[in-house]
Amino acid sequence: MSAELETLDQLLGGDLPLRVVRNLYADEEGFRQGVLGLLSSGDVCLLMSDQTPVPRWRWAELFGADEVMHELGNMKLRLTPQGTRRIA
């Protein structure tokens, strides 16, 4: 199973902090590309720790550099209905 599908599968149990999701990927580059792909396809949404959605325009800034690696404890992923259908 790919790390992206494993991410979706794990999210069936509820929201996960990015620091937990990071462990599903072999390296940081795979993590950044995989999560950005899931976000871009609409399978997951990125939330701040206070449940506020991270705006789409900020994704490239976060995932294009190492900034997301410094924010792992402050953000989490949530499965969208589309993501649920993809994994079910």
For residue range 23-63, what is the model confidence (pLDDT) as tens digits? Answer: 999 999 999 999 999 999 999 999 998 999 999 998 888 88
Q: Give percent of the chain with pLDDT exceeding 90.
A: 73
CATH 1.10.10 fits domain 3-87: yes
Chain mean pLDDT for the chain? 91
C-alpha span between 68 and 45 (Å, rounded): 15
C-alpha span between 88 and 68 (Å, rounded): 29
Exposure b/e, 62-84, CB count within 10 A at least 16 = b: bbeeeebeebeeebbbebbeebe
Tokens (6 digits) for 4: 């992206």
User: How many CB atoms within 10 Å of residue 38?
Assistant: 25
